[in-house]
Amino acid sequence: MSEVRKSEKRQLELFAELATCNPFLPRRMELEKQVLGSKFEEDGIAWSRRLEFTDRERFNVTRLTDAATELIDKVQQQVASGKTLSSESLKHYWYVVTYALLYRHIVYQDPASLRDPDSTAAIWKEFRSDYSRLVNLPGLSDEVAQSPGHLFAILCQIHRAFFNIYSFILGESLPSVELRGKVWQSIFTCDIDRYRRSLFDRMSGLTSLITGPSGTGKELVARAIGLSQFIPFDEKHSRLKAPDETSFFPLNLSAMSANLIESELFGHRKGAFTGAIVDRKGWLELCPAHGAIFLDELGELDLALQVKLLRVVQQRRFSRIGATKERNFCGKIIGATNRDLDEEMKSGRFREDLYYRLCADRIETPSLRQQLEHRPEDLYFLIRHIATGLVGDDSDSLCSQSMEWIEANLGSHYPWRGNFRELEQCVSSIMIRGEYVPGRSAKVDSSEQDDWTRDAIKTSLTADELLQRYCTWMYFQTGGYEAAARKLKIDRRTVKAKVDQAMLERLKTG
């Protein structure tokens, strides 16, 4: 007996990689193009949210679903006529089946419908019927390691995770693309097949640590991870287990005293301290297995509490304040800080043993300046997103007003030291007062001016050096040769010739 045609084997191989790759990294787009060929529609370097959710974003996906169905039918027809599949091709076929099941039955569902028992039961009924038909292939039963219920739970998680990452983390710059890819890995690792087999119920035991400057969306990253944990599927009752439980518990450590943090996290026994008039469960006890506790500003945590947290991270056990009974912690811990933890450890303010229990899954959120350096066009998209949240359907006028004011007064090289949070306040201020006054910390300090103003005052610069540095400074402020030339009332070619790239780089990097 001969094997299926080489063309189908190659398509199975490509689809298998596509079905198991990280959907937010550029490789996904490359694979879509290889699978679809001339039917592929160019759509950026990677998946990212545009200004609105539109059908246009789904063109390639619709075609891929059709291609998967066509490929499955071809393979089944060839096998029915006596062709065979190698062990490797059977495995690839299984991946194509999982892809088809995901996009036929789950992807186009509102994630909320998968939390409704009645809706889930109807989706599951159709899914199970399709599953039984698609896996009915000689030899495939030996390749399939998951029951239909387990696969359904995994695919629901994939859909939920994609939706959360896609919705929460905006921007098309390379740093934003890489951030979405890293968040996906924090949930499913770099090998989703291994995750499906053996890690789905173990990842909550690994802590995620999010670092980066203030205002860069660390809590959004934490939410994307925390709301995307694995939830088992109950085949007997046709529903996801505990779908309606609260699953994300954020705690801002910098806003609370050490005693209050301890009580919130660990809970307490009646009479443990003044005011403890009843037994109280803490968040470690309330958090379900598919939930997550988010410890924001982790670098602010008191050293004594760091010891207690270390025990939870190491042993997954804790006790209420005033109690000796040990309890199990079943959820996931996510920490975040804008502090330099290396410096904090050197100074003795952060325990090294705790850090090395946290750092296996570390995510760095990029600054707004890093994002705009890679893709300046993202500024318009982010402002439009903010304006929509502020004024709804009237966002066009506020977006245009904000863009014009920023270009005229801050320029394209404004550092945005407060990151996205500062941009939000900037747009809000322009809406209210027609202008924005940056805080002192957002302004470029004297060291970033390369000391050129002091040199000028000391008359230690030649006329040519003074013009060179002033042109560089004006270019940095305005963001373009034309704008700088208008300000200086000189020819743009002169500005371009005089800009000092080394000084400009120092100004950009602060």
Closest-CA residue to 309 (of 334, 288, 286, 289): 334
CA 462 to chain centroid, in Å, comes to 50
CB 449 within 8 Å of CB 473 = yes
Closest-CA residue to 49 (of 158, 125, 131, 163): 163
Domains of the chain: 6-170 (no CATH), 225-366 (3.40.50.300), 369-442 (no CATH), 446-509 (no CATH)
Tracing tokens 């403890």 back to the chain, one arrives at 276
pLDDT at 445 over 50: no
Work out whether the CA dihedral 6, 10, 11, 16 comes out positive or negative. Answer: positive
Q: Does residue 154 or residue 46 have the better pLDDT?
A: 154
pLDDT at 450 over 60: no
CA distance 427 to 380: 11
pLDDT at 200 over 50: yes
As beta bridge partners, residue 280 has 268
Read off the pTM. 0.85
Give the containing element (helix H, strand E) for 505: helix 501-509
State the chain's mean pLDDT as an integer.
89
* Dihedral pair phi/psi, residue 167, rounded to 5°: -80, -40
Q: Which residues contact 452 (CB under 8 A, 6 or more apart)?
A: 461, 469, 470, 473, 503
Tracing tokens 């899914």 back to the chain, one arrives at 127
Q: Which residues contact 176 (CB under 8 A, 6 or more apart)?
A: 48, 169, 170, 366, 371, 378
CB 31 within 8 Å of CB 21 = yes
Query: What six digits make up the tokens of 208?
Result: 């995620």
At 446, the pLDDT band (50, 70, 90 cuts) reads very low
Q: For residue 248, give the 3-state DSSP assignment.
A: strand
Per-residue model confidence (pLDDT) at position 443: 52
Question: Going along 300-440, which residue ranges are E strands?
Answer: 317-319, 326-328, 332-337, 361-364
Per-residue model confidence (pLDDT) at position 136: 84
Q: Quote the percentage of the chain above a pLDDT of 90.
A: 63
Q: Which residues contact 204 (CB under 8 A, 6 or more apart)?
A: 229, 230, 289, 290, 292, 330, 331, 332
pLDDT tens, position by position, 479-494:
678 778 888 889 888 9
Q: Quote the percentage of the chain above a pLDDT of 70.
A: 91
CA distance 186 to 274: 41
**Stretch 303-320: mean pLDDT, rounded?**
94
pLDDT at 37 over 80: yes
SS3 content of the chain, % helix, strand, coil (to 5): 60, 10, 30
CB 344 within 8 Å of CB 350 = yes
Q: 252-277: buried (b, 16+ CB within 10 Å) or exposed (e) per residue?
A: ebeeeeeeebbbbbbbbbeebeeebe
At 451, the pLDDT band (50, 70, 90 cuts) reads low
Query: What six digits make up the tokens of 373?
Result: 């350096």
| CB neighbours of residue 147 within 10 Å | 12
At 56, the pLDDT band (50, 70, 90 cuts) reads very low
CB 203 within 8 Å of CB 402 = no
**What is the C-alpha radius of gyration for the chain, rounded to an integer number of angstroms?**
28
pLDDT tens, position by position, 110-157:
887 888 888 899 999 999 999 999 988 887 765 565 789 999 999 999
pLDDT tens, position by position, 245-290:
678 999 999 889 998 999 999 998 887 887 888 888 999 999 999 9
CB 169 within 8 Å of CB 366 = no
CA distance 103 to 493: 55
User: To the nearest 10°, the Cα dihedral for 311, 313, 315, 318?
Assistant: 60
pLDDT at 301 over 70: yes
Kindly state the DSSP code that residue 207 receives in the 8-state scheme.
P
User: To the nearest 10°, the Cα dihedral for 406, 374, 378, 507?
Assistant: -20
CA distance 506 to 510: 6
Per-residue model confidence (pLDDT) at position 428: 98
pLDDT at 317 over 70: yes
pLDDT at 24 over 70: yes
